[in-house]
Amino acid sequence: MIEFHSVTKRFPDGTLAVEDFSLVLPSRKTTVFVGSSGCGKTTLLRMINRMIDPSSGSIEIDGVDIASGSAVALRRSIGYVMQNSGLLPHRRVIDNVATVPLLKGVKKVDAHTQAMELLDTVGLDRALAYRYPSQLSGGQQQRVGVARGLAVNPNILLMDEPFGAVDPIVRDDLQQELLRLQHDLDKTVVFVTHDIDEAFLLGDQVVILEKGAQIAQVGTPKEILANPASDFVASFIGADRGKRRLAVDSTVSRSGDDVVLVDGAGYVAGVIEAPGGVLPGAGAGVSTNSRARSVSNKTDQAGDA
């Protein structure tokens, strides 16, 4: 469990990145900080492993103030995955994955054996172990980054827009992979993104942030979608523009069992399964809104933030 207690961060240049932020991030769940550029979400993440120290307030991990120990020891106990992988370009993949265990004094043979297993875990061919990072594709590099983050078997995994720089198809792959990993490994994941779809897909707890890391809303994706707390949230998740509010398109003649759905602007958003042309449980009160996640509505939101 990670707890923020009235954390404020003012940078030397006067920027107030985080103002009086308090939140509990539950263990073994994925918490996603989502917001526009400059909202302080990355600052929040980097305060957890003391890459940035708060100006005031405190952060506790399982009840222990993180400022009490050494920053280096803290960082070595937390997995960190960033955009563009942050791999050491002069080291082979396997040495990159084994970096932190080796720093901690694990024997090279053991560290390498474990690194190989981690490559399996993140779905990378072992043949890539002796390549240099620049010889890998962007998606493969991110997988190596995740493997390195997992190498110390941390309880906490921090992910700073890890899939921001890969193409949409690879991003989908990596997101699915992360969901699978999280299902298997049960880490406390803190994930930063500006992509609300990604946040809703990955997050058990989604935190929508405004400037100064002010919490606009915190909740499960369902709660946020069903009840946006403010106009800002509604706008951010795309509800106000009708992107999340889907309707059955009556203009398309049906063939088969699927019914075409359109969003508020009239664009095709996906289909919904309706055996025999009847929506399951259809009645006046059924909101297609909440079903939107179960159909393929991933066509619009990518560049929303």
Partner 1 sequence: MNLFLDALNFMFDPANLTGANGILSRLVDHLWYTGLSMAVAVVIGIPLGLLVGHTGRGRNAVVAVSSAARALPTLGLIFLIILYTGLGVGPLIVVLVILAVPPLLAGAYSGLEAVNRSTIDAARAIGMTEWQILFKVEMPLAMPLIFGGIRSATLQVIATATIAGYVGLTGLGRFLIEGLALRDYKLALAGAILVIALALCVDTILALAQRLVIPHGVARGLTRHPDESAAPTPRQHGRVSPAPSNL
Chain contacts with partner 1 (rule: CB under 8 A): 46, 49, 51, 72-77, 80, 82, 84-92, 99-100, 103, 132-135, 138, 141, 148-149, 165
92 C-beta neighbours (distance < 10 Å), count: 17
CB of 51 to partner 1, least distance (A): 5
CB of 134 to partner 1, least distance (A): 5
Distance CA 119, CA 140 (A): 10
Nearer to partner 1, 37 or 253 (CB): 37
Nearer to partner 1, 50 or 245 (CB): 50
CB of 139 to partner 1, least distance (A): 11
C-beta separation of 36 from 213 below 8 A: no
Query: Partners of 215 in the beta sheet?
Result: 209
C-beta separation of 110 from 45 below 8 A: no
Nearer to partner 1, 140 or 288 (CB): 140
Query: Partners of 64 in the beta sheet?
Result: 61
Nearer to partner 1, 82 or 292 (CB): 82
Q: Tokens 């055996």 — which residue?
A: 275
Nearer to partner 1, 141 or 288 (CB): 141
Distance CA 56, CA 256 (A): 61
Backbone dihedral region for residue 133 (phi beyond 0: left; psi -120 to 50: alpha; all else: beta): alpha
Distance CA 101, CA 10 (A): 34
Backbone angles phi, psi at 160, to 5 degrees: -105, 100
Nearer to partner 1, 7 or 45 (CB): 45
CB of 86 to partner 1, least distance (A): 3
CB of 268 to partner 1, least distance (A): 35
Cα dihedral 23, 214, 59, 162 sign: positive
In eight-state DSSP terms, residue 130 is G
Q: Nearest to residue 298, comparing CAs of 271, 264, 265?
A: 271
CB of 305 to partner 1, least distance (A): 21
Question: Residue 196: is it exposed, middle or buried by C-beta count within 10 angstroms (0-12/13-18/19+)?
Answer: buried
CB of 141 to partner 1, least distance (A): 6
Nearer to partner 1, 101 or 212 (CB): 101
CB of 283 to partner 1, least distance (A): 52
Nearer to partner 1, 73 or 284 (CB): 73
Q: Nearest to residue 159, comparing CAs of 49, 92, 82?
A: 82
C-beta separation of 158 from 49 below 8 A: yes
Helix (H) or strand (E) holding 71: helix 71-76
